[in-house]
Structure formats: C-alpha cells, structure tokens
Structure 1
Amino acid sequence: MGISRATTEKVRERADIEDVVNDYVPLKKKGQNLWACCPFHNEKSPSFSVSPAKQIYKCFGCGKAGDPIQFVMDIEGLGFGEAIKHLAVKYGIEVEEDHTSTPEDIQAYNEKESLYIALNFAKDFFVQNLQTEEGRAIGLSYFKERGFSQSIIEKFDLGYTLDGWDHLLKAAKAAGHSEEILLKAGLILQKEGDPTRVYDRFRGRVTFTIHNLGGKPIGFGARILTQDKKQPKYINSPETDVYHKSDVLYGMFQAKKSIREKDNCYLVEGYTDVVSLHLSGIENVVASSGTSLTENQIKLIKRFTDNVTVLFDGDSAGIKASLRGIDMLLEGGLNVKAVVFPDGDDPDSYSRKVGSQAFTDYLEKNAQDFIAFKIGLHADEASNDPIKRADLIKQVVASLSKIADPIIRSVYVRQSANLLEIEEEIIQVELNKIILKVQKDQYFRDQRDDESQETPFENFLPTKEEGISFSSQLEAQEREMMRMLVNYGFEMVSEELSVCEYLLQETQELVFETPVFNKILKLYKEALANGILPQPQHFLTSQDAEVRNEIITMISRKHEISKLWEERFQIFTISEADDLAKSVYDNILRLKQKVVKKMLEEARSKIKEAQDQKESNEIMDERLKVYMELKHYQTEIDKQLGIVISN
C-alpha cells in the first residue's frame, strides 16, 4: 500500500527547502538565493543554489536539481515513499495509507510490510542470541577473536543463530508471525517431500544483517564456525519480495554518508572485510558478498560517487578471474583504482595484522589506476612472450573502450602506450575499431527495433518542431543567448562568476549562424577588452542600424505584468531574473541542443549521400562515427534539460 496523497501534500506544504538542505550543508545568502558547495560532488567554489522563493535547489556543476523531497531522495539514496516518510518524521506529520488502493494493492503492501516486520524480528532475535550462554561461548567469542568491538557489533546488527532446528520458528510464531510469511522472508525452509515439516534456515552460525538503503533488515548472511566440510561456509538469504541480491551491496546503509563525503567507495568481497575496515576507521566501504558485480550494484555506487577503489586479495589467479568486474565498473562510468594485498592476505586479515594506521597508509600508497594495475598483473609473463604481450595489449584496449568520456579515455591511451612501450597511434587505431564496431552495432540494432521506419535513417532524424526549419530554430536560440548576454551580462551567477564570463566561456567554440549576432558579440568583446562591462545602452550608440534595431528588440518587453497582481490580488509571478543562474544555464543548453540538431541533420545527409554513391566502407564508417558521437552529445544535453526520449 502506498502513502496517501494527503500525507504527500502535507509534506510538500511543510517541508522547507532551506530547512531541509541546512540539515546537510551550511547555506550562505547571496541575493535572493542561498549558496553552498554542492553536497553531491567536490568543488571549491559554490555552485549549489537554493531558492527559498521557489522551494527548489540546483547545482550548476553536476546538474542535480529538485524540490525538498527530491533532495532527500538524492542525499539519502531513498525512493519517493521513503523520502516522504523521512520528511514526515522530521515535521511530525502522521503517515496515512492510500485508501484508494485496490484490494490487490493493499494485500501486496501488507505482505511486504509483514516481511519487513518478520525480518526485523529475526534480526533482533539473532542479536539477542549473542547474550545467551551458547551465543556468548560461540558467536560472541568469534567476533571478539576477530577484534570486533561491541559498538561495531551493534552498528552492523551482528548476531548468532542457535544450534537447533526451530529456535527462530518457535519464537517467531509465538510473537504472531505466520509460517507463510517466515517462508516468504527466507527465514525457514520446508523439508523436501514433506511440506508440513518446516525448520530454521540458519542454525548454529553467526549472522550478518543485510540492510536496504533506509536501514531496514532485508536478508542475512550466515557463517558456519565449525570445520564441517559437508556444510557450506556461508548461507545467504534467498531472493524475496524485499531482497534482490543484484540490487544490494552489503554495508551501503552504513557507508553511504562516508562515500559521499570521501567521494570514493572501497569495494571488497566479503562481510568481514567491510566490518574490519570500519574498525580501522574506513567507513566508505561496501561488499559484493562473494557474488559477481551487477549493473544495478554499479548504478547504486554511482548514486553516491564516481570513484571506486577495488581491494583484491593477494591471490593473482583470483585477481585475474575478477578483472571483468573492473571493465563493468568502467562501462558504468566510474573511475577505477585497485589495491592488491600481500600474498595470502585479504582486507580483513591484513587490517588485523598491521593495525588501523598502517592499514590506512597501505591503501593510500598502493592504490593504482586500473591501467597500471592491469598491465602490472601480466607484465612478467608478457615481457618475453610476443603472443602474451599482444594479448595483453588487446585486453587493455578492450578495457579502454569501456570508458565513455573521450577526454579520460585519451589520457589513459597515452598512459597505456608509455607503460606498454608501444606507439600511442597503435592503441588508438585498435581502440577506434572497437568503438566504431560498438556504435555500428548499436546503430543497426536500433534500426531493426523500429519496425515503422521507412528509410534506414528515419528513426535517428530529429523531427522538425511544428514545421520550423532547424536554421530558424537555431537563429531564435542564438537571439535568446544574445539577449541574456546583453541584459544580464553584468550580473553575477555565483560569487566569482558573472553571466558574461559564463556565457562567453560556454560559447567560445560556437560560431553564430546569424551575422548580426556575430556583430554584437564582436562589439561586446571589444568593450570587455577596453575594460568596459557593457550594458544595453552601450550598443545603442553603434553606427550599425541593424545592431541598434536588434538591441532594442532584445531589451524591450511586449507585455508588462501589472503591479496590481501582487499588491491587490496577492498573485505572484516568477521572472527569469529570480533565478538567473538557472535561466542562463538552461539557455546555453538549449543553444547547444539546436546546434547539435543542425549538425545531425547535416551528418544524416552525408550518410545518405554515401549510401547513394556506394562509397567505401571507410568513408561510411567515418560518417557513422561522427553521427553516433553527435547522437551521444544530443542525449547528454537532453538529459540535462529533462527531456525524455522515447524509443
């Protein structure tokens, strides 16, 4: 069952953007807005703007934006419903259920809530078992031997399952939990061939509670403490309605704040690795829990940072088997480093061996970027074997192709060439082959998926807006950009950046299609060179009538809103000057969008021309490459403008 609309509206009414953001970052008033260094990415100059009047926030560095609810979702990594509950608690609002839900919705909601309640009961039961005679002798002594403090045990809800068939089952049923819910929560099992016989899934093991991002228990990992080779070392909760292994990383609930603050996430393999790093004072750590990384887990990390450092056990064979994970991290848009521990050690054992400070120093000194790490792994065996050396080069190039950012990729190409002692051009040529193949495959895959298209490139051509040509659209957007420059160039969008500085920086590589705008821009730059920050009147003295007429058009308003709206009727409107930074930012994006659209139209024509004239594969490949790069830029701009592209 969802949260009622009334509750959501109460939260929207009560939640104040300044109050909510101030819980996380200090805000400084400047003009009508409040400013801070963005809590979502590292920066030295504040680009994070909060508008109390509009009840919104916007970062002009990383693009994060929204209202108080969205801010809580972003900063805490919560879903919409959880964010509403979070704010409801803050403002003392009672959370009401949505009574418009169907009976099926209500049943599904109630069952999911029952699973959470049963799992929380099991967590408490396992934790309390540590205080029993058996729990102290076996479970608690195991944790103490590993150096786990009482505060760490409580922080991670570590526990113990008694050695018997139905200790949890009996306690849970006595507390009112049904066998059906306990089965669905993965806490008990049915005997094969006899569904009437049920028993505890976890028996005689220490437990590691798995939490969701909001801190609710959703599953368990349980480790055996005996040497019974017939039993697996770890037993984990199965997939349930509240626990999806591919979406969860162990320790993320405890780590998310530190990951954001440190702007880095340490990735380890097991539960004890995570706990041991916390003991060493390193809290920005999560574990894949012995499973292969998934796309959703990588997306989860990226919600909090763009940087990940993978910690590998000192086992070269195991490391080489795990290299696919690094390629997946790169493909997910993360910057990757790696640390390898001495042979025979893992993060848990090494931290206990050397102590907190030495362990922290080791991580800082031994972190290497993924290229140096990957090449170093194979350096010895490839040094005197041409075949293995060639294979290593191919592996490195394959990893480089996963990096989406062309600037970062080019830096790594140069580094790879130096480390491999080969010409940079060789790597670049091989890399281009892979990238082009991927782009071509994607291009033609999209064509096959679009059953309604009439020509091979119909699906990719942006539709003209209401019959207006791209040239006209571009001219209109160029005029809008110049209007912002002329009217607001002397205003400040931050403490250190003026509107004119921002606009000129962002458009320095663009050439205006409309001649009169080039004239105005030239006059503007000449004034700046002479130490004048020109205002609109500066251009009205120009001898060029076309320039004067265009300036008059830019500074004139067709309609003025009567003051009676505010003074008599208390109806308030928002002007672009109220949030100038956002207006300027969006204006630049729209201009770039129009430029890219026009370039796409030209690129499509060239591809069609190459098809008609049956040009060589090399020419077709080059034109396709240009087209796909433009499509990538268009997608990025559309995302920032909040445009949803439907396939």
Structure 2
Amino acid sequence: MGISKLTTDKVKERVDIVEVVGDYVPLKKKGQNLWACCPFHGEKSPSFSVSPSKQIYKCFGCSKAGDPIQFVMDIEGVGFQEAIRHLAGKYGIEVEEDETRTPEQDQEQSERESLFIALNFAKDFFVKNLRTDEGKSIGLSYFRERGFSPQIIEKFDLGYALDGWGHMLKAAKSAGFSEEILLKAGLILQKEGDPSRIYDRFRGRVTFTIHNVSGKPIGFGARILTKDKNQPKYINSPETPIYHKSDVLYGIYQAKKAIRDQDNCYLVEGYTDVVSMHLSGIENVVASSGTSLTEGQIKLIKRFTNQVTVLYDGDPAGIKASIRGIDLLLEGGLNVKAVVFPDGEDPDSFSRKVGSQAFQDYLKENSRDFIGFKIGLYQDEFARDPIRKAEVIREIVQSIGKIPDPIVRSVYAKEASGLLQIEEEIIHTELNKSLIKSNKEHFQKAKEEAEAEQVLEGLVPTKTEISVDDTLRLQERETIRLLLNYGWQKLDHEELHLCEYLLSETEEIAFHTPIYQKILGIYRDSLAKGTIPKTDFFVSQQDAEVRQVTIDLITPRHEVSVHWEGRHQILINTESDDLAATAFKSILRLKRKLVYKMMDEAKQKIKAAEQEGSDLDKVLELQQIYFELKKVQLEIDRELGIVIG
C-alpha cells in the first residue's frame, strides 16, 4: 500500500532543503546560497550548492540535482516512498496510506524496496537463531568469549546462520518471499550446472549485519568457527542493487552521530574491531571490511567529518602493504592521523587485553599525523641506505601533494623538512613540479569551457571543433534558462511578461534539442490555461529529465559579492537590470544560430548538387538561398554589434 498524496504534500510543504542536506554534510554560506563538498563524488573544493530560496541542491561537479526528497533518494539509495517516510519521520508528520491503490500497483513496488524487506527478514532470522540450542552453543558462546555484551549484540544485530542447506530458504519462502528476490538479495545460491538446486549462502557461521547510513540491513558478513581449511574464514554478501561494497563502511550507522560529535573517525579493518571498540566506549569507528579503501568509502566518511585516524595492526609488513590508503584519504580532502598497535595486536585483541580506559589512553597518546607516521615507518631503512632515504622523501612529497588545501600543504612541507633533515626549499620545489602539472590540466579545461561560453555569447566566431548544432543547442539552452528564471517578470515600461515575448518570438521555431522543446511545450500548455509557471512548477514535475535540466538552469555557479556595491560602491550590471534588452539579444542570438544552421545546410546541398552534376539553375537557386541567409545573418550581427573581419 502506498503513501497518500496528502502526506506527500505535507512533507513537501514542511521540509527545508538546508536542514535535510545539513544532516549529511556541513554547509557554509557564500552569497545567497550555501556550499559544501559534494557527498556524491570526491572533490577538493566545494561545488555543491544549496539554494534556500528555491529549495534545491545542485552539484556543478557531478551534476546531481533535485529537491529535498530527491536528495534523500540519492544519498540513502531509496525509492520515492521510502524518502517520503524518512522525511515524515524527521518532521513528525503522520504517514497516511493511500487506500485507492490497486493490488497490481502494490505488486509494482520497486525491486530495491523488496530487497530491503527481504534482508531485514534475514537479519531478524539470524538474530533469533541465537536463541536456538545450536545458536546458543555455537554462536552465542563465541560472542560471549569475545566479551560481547547482550546490549552490543543487539546494537549490531549480530546473529547466527544455522548449519544446514535450507533453513533460511525454507523460512523465507514460508514468509512469502520469492526465490527470485532471495537470489537478488544474495541470501541463497543456485548450484552451478543445476539451477533447480537452491541452498542457503550462509551456513554454520556467526553473522554480522551490514547496515546502510539510515540503518537498513543491506548485506551480511559471516565468520566460520571451525578450522575447516576448505572454507574461507569470512564470506560476505555479493554485490546487489542495494549493496555495493566499495561504497559501504561497516558500523557507519552506529557511528555517524559519534563521528559528528567527536569530529573524528577511527578507521579499522574488521567487524570485530568495530564491535570491540564500542565495548571500550569508542563509538566513532568504522571498518572497511577487509577490502582496500575506496573513493566511495572516503566520500562516506567525509559526509560526517574531515578528520580520520587510521588504526593499524602491529604488523610492519601489513602496514606497508596498506599505506596507499593514506594517500587516498589525503586526496579526498581528509586530515589523516595514524595509530599503530604493538606487534601481534589489533584493535580487538588489544582492547580486550588492556581494558577500556587504557585502550582509550593508548589511542590519544600514540596518535601521529601522517608525516610523522610515514617517516617513522621507514626510519630504520633509510638510516642505513641514503638511496632509500631519497625514495622515502619522494613518497612523502607525493603524499603532501595530494592535500588540496595549500596552507595545510605548506605546514606539512615544513614539518617534513625538519623530520627528514632536508631543506624545505627542496621539498617545495618537488611539490611545485607536481602542482604545476595538475594546474595545467585544470587550466586547459577551464579555457575550453570559457571558449564555449564566448561562442554562445557571439563574442568570437564559431571554431571548427565546435559544430553548428552544438552552438544552436547552447543558445536554445540560454533561451529556456531566461524563460525559467524570469518568465513571470514584466519587461521594463511594458505590460508584457518576458515569457509572452519569448514565446511569441519562438512560435514558429522548432527547437532541435528534445528536452528544451519539451519544456517549451509544458510552458505553453500552462500559459494557455491562464497560469504563468514558476521554477517550483518545473522542479516538481514527474519527468526526471525536466527536473534535472530545470535545476541546472536556475542554479548559478557564481554570484557577485554584495561587498562590491555595499563596501566598494562598485555597481555591477546584471541581466535582470534590463530584461527587455536581455530577452531581445537572446532571441537575436537564437535566430543567428538558426540562420547559421540553415546556411550550413545550404552549403551542403550546393556541394552535393555540384558533385551530382545537377543543372546550373538548381545550383544557382541554392546559391541564392545561401546569399539571402547571409544577408539576414549580417543584419542580425549589426543589431548585436558583432563585427567579424
């Protein structure tokens, strides 16, 4: 059964984009909007914009955009109705079910929601198994040996998978789950070569439930307790539509509040490390679940803090093998520290060995920034070998170069200089080499974007690498942008709305870009019904592409600082100061691009006619069409003040 429209409308009225996004990323005000590093992709400087006035978000890096509901859908990986339920809970809105939905509509619930339900059932099943005789004697006794309290077992939804081929399958099918959903959820397997043979994936193992950020079970890790050399120690859920290992951190749901409160995230390797640290009173801890650290996992940490402390087992060879993770963390814009445990110890074993308070004290006393940590790791090697010292220096410099903040980079360069006993100038020289290379790449990209904008404005002639169709598409985009941003405003000293002028001038023009033609059609239909649509009308459209394009067009990337006028008395003209002139020039540029396209088509026809050996009259007729179009183009150029030699 679905959620009623009344509940959906209440949520839309009550939600605030700043509050919703602020639960996941720290926002900083700049101009009229708020900005943050995007939670959907890794970046060094903020390109994620939140508009309180328009109630939308937009990332200029990865193009993610939407309203508060879309943000929850994107960040939590849930469907529309799950997002509404989430926001209704946040704002204390009672959820009313839609009684008018048919059984057929109920069956069309998204696959993702079905998977969430199946995995939640599996979690409950494994937890209940701890109360069976087998579960008590094997699973529960193992947890008690590790010192796990009943509260911790409940907190992490720890459980036990019974030793047998079909316990889960039988229980799930009795509860109404289909084999198809159980297979997609990774709870059961099909025997290779015999699809009719289906059996449980997890058997005779203790289970660790993997939750997403909002606390929903999305997968499981399972540990065998016997010493069977033919079986792996751990097995995990496979990749599914709702579980992508590279984007998940074990314990993030239980840790997210503590990470925010402490402004630090401890990063460990395994499930039991996380649980043991909670027992020691340290809750701001997550695990990469035995996999190499990924960009997705780094972005997940960055949603809650910029500080991360990596905890390494007391195994020098293992530390050196996993040291690359520090560079990834630095590149992700995180401030990195590290703690190494005594030889042979890991967070789980060491916390049980020394006790809670001593464990917490150890972490505080032995936490070192990544420079001191890396240098200390290789100290013995380069003390005996000058060449090795040179290699270590380059590795340190490369790590420093990953840091996006120039001030932090400079501080670490100075520290590295003292610890490595090398001139700071040499470190800065090496740093500059890598930074110059990176800046060249960024400059080239920015230059290409600027040239495209100049072509759009008609400031420079179209270059051969930018096609006529591309420039026409850009000008169509500009026309729709003006329509969405200012359509309801009246032109200076006239009773005419901007939308009426633009629509009348484009009445006989068919836009070549389908999405812009679609938006134009929606606008005309609304105007025909006596309503001038505003931006929220298009942001709430069911068509996802219309919503996305609308947000792209109504969200400016740059704003003029209020200090130009308020503090420096410098007046900056904007396009809204004279909408009549802005609209007039936009229409002229659109027609100019259309004429260019028609001229290009005419040239192609002339060339084809000459190659086919057509009669002279046909060629002359086509040439006459071209010259007439050229006259129109020159007239428009004069109106726009464009002179091209």
Same topology, TM > 0.5 = yes
Residue 267 of structure 2 aligns to a residue in which SS? strand
Shift of 1:460: 3.9
Q: Matched residues in 1 for 2:236 and 2:356: separation?
A: 29
The aligned amino acid for 1:184 is K
- Cross-structure match for 2:133: 133
Shift of 1:97: 11
Q: Matched residues in 2 for 1:314 and 1:357: separation?
A: 20
Q: Deviations over 1:325-362 (max 9, x none)?
A: 11011111111111111110000001101111111111
Change (3 A) 1:371 1:346: same
- Cross-structure match for 1:361: 361
Query: Which runs of no fewer than 5 residues in structure 1 stay unpaired?
Result: 25-39, 41-49, 58-64, 448-456, 470-557, 560-584, 596-647
Query: Which runs of no fewer than 5 residues in structure 2 stay unpaired?
Result: 25-38, 40-49, 58-64, 460-491, 494-557, 566-570, 573-645
- Cross-structure match for 1:345: 345
Residue 379 of structure 2 aligns to a residue in which SS? helix
Residue 290 of structure 2 aligns to a residue in which SS? coil
Shift of 1:143: 0.3
Q: Matched residues in 1 for 2:21 and 2:278: separation?
A: 27
- Cross-structure match for 2:95: 93
Q: Matched residues in 1 for 2:13 and 2:304: separation?
A: 28
Alignment of 1:40-439 (within 5 A): 81=80, 82-89=82-89, 90-94=92-96, 109-439=109-439
Shift of 1:229: 1.2
Q: Matched residues in 2 for 1:466 and 1:155: separation?
A: 57
The aligned amino acid for 1:360 is Q
For the 8 Å contact 1:3–1:98, the answer to whether it is kept is no
Residue 403 of structure 2 aligns to a residue in which SS? coil
Q: Deviations over 1:568-624 (max 9, x none)?
A: xxxxxxxxxxxxxxxxx96528969x99xxxxxxxxxxxxxxxxxxxxxxxxxxxxx
Alignment of 1:575-590 (within 5 A): 587-588=560-561
- Cross-structure match for 2:10: 10
Percent identical among aligned pairs is 69
Q: Matched residues in 1 for 2:100 and 2:295: separation?
A: 33
The aligned amino acid for 1:463 is E
Residue 463 of structure 1 aligns to a residue in which SS? helix
Alignment of 1:535-550 (within 5 A): none
Larger mean Cα displacement after TM superposition, 411-420 or 15-24 = 15-24
Work out whether 1:463 is the aligned partner of 2:453: yes
Q: Matched residues in 2 for 1:19 and 1:466: separation?
A: 37
- Cross-structure match for 2:476: none
The aligned amino acid for 1:206 is V
Q: Deviations over 1:526-558 (max 9, x none)?
A: xxxxxxxxxxxxxxxxxxxxxxxxxxxxxxxx9
Residue 588 of structure 1 aligns to a residue in which SS? coil
Q: Deviations over 1:130-173 (max 9, x none)?
A: 01111101100000000000010001000001111111111111
- Cross-structure match for 1:636: none
Shift of 1:8: 3.2
Q: Matched residues in 1 for 2:115 and 2:71: separation?
A: 28
Larger mean Cα displacement after TM superposition, 90-99 or 117-126 = 90-99
Residue 165 of structure 1 aligns to a residue in which SS? coil
Q: Matched residues in 2 for 1:55 and 1:416: separation?
A: 46
For the 8 Å contact 1:266–1:310, the answer to whether it is kept is yes
For the 8 Å contact 1:337–1:369, the answer to whether it is kept is yes
Change (3 A) 1:17 1:405: closer
Residue 336 of structure 1 aligns to a residue in which SS? strand
Change (3 A) 1:417 1:73: farther
- Cross-structure match for 1:633: none
For the 8 Å contact 1:295–1:332, the answer to whether it is kept is yes
For the 8 Å contact 1:339–1:366, the answer to whether it is kept is yes
Q: Matched residues in 2 for 1:289 and 1:218: separation?
A: 14
- Cross-structure match for 2:467: none
For the 8 Å contact 1:5–1:98, the answer to whether it is kept is no
Residue 382 of structure 1 aligns to a residue in which SS? helix
TM-score (norm 1): 0.61
Alignment of 1:493-572 (within 5 A): none
The aligned amino acid for 2:96 is E
For the 8 Å contact 2:88–2:95, the answer to whether it is kept is yes
For the 8 Å contact 2:255–2:285, the answer to whether it is kept is yes
For the 8 Å contact 1:134–1:162, the answer to whether it is kept is yes
Shift of 1:242: 1.3
Whose relative contact order is higher, 1 or 2, with alpha carbons under 8 Å and at least 6 apart? Answer: 2
Shift of 1:183: 1.1
Residue 147 of structure 1 aligns to a residue in which SS? coil
The aligned amino acid for 2:434 is I
Shift of 1:246: 1.1
Change (3 A) 1:171 1:354: same
Shift of 1:432: 1.1
Shift of 1:365: 1.0
Change (3 A) 1:158 1:408: same
For the 8 Å contact 2:77–2:242, the answer to whether it is kept is no
The aligned amino acid for 1:409 is R
Shift of 1:415: 0.6
For the 8 Å contact 2:224–2:234, the answer to whether it is kept is yes
CA-based RMSD of the aligned residues comes to 4.4
- Cross-structure match for 1:475: none
For the 8 Å contact 2:123–2:157, the answer to whether it is kept is yes
Shift of 1:2: 9.5
TM-score (norm 2): 0.61
Q: Matched residues in 2 for 1:20 and 1:464: separation?
A: 37
Larger mean Cα displacement after TM superposition, 265-274 or 78-87 = 78-87
Q: Deviations over 1:295-346 (max 9, x none)?
A: 1111111111111111100001100111111101111111111111111000
For the 8 Å contact 2:219–2:243, the answer to whether it is kept is yes
For the 8 Å contact 1:88–1:94, the answer to whether it is kept is no
For the 8 Å contact 1:10–1:93, the answer to whether it is kept is no
Count of matched residue positions in the alignment of Structure 1 and Structure 2:
446
Shift of 1:247: 1.1
Residue 414 of structure 1 aligns to a residue in which SS? helix
Residue 412 of structure 1 aligns to a residue in which SS? helix
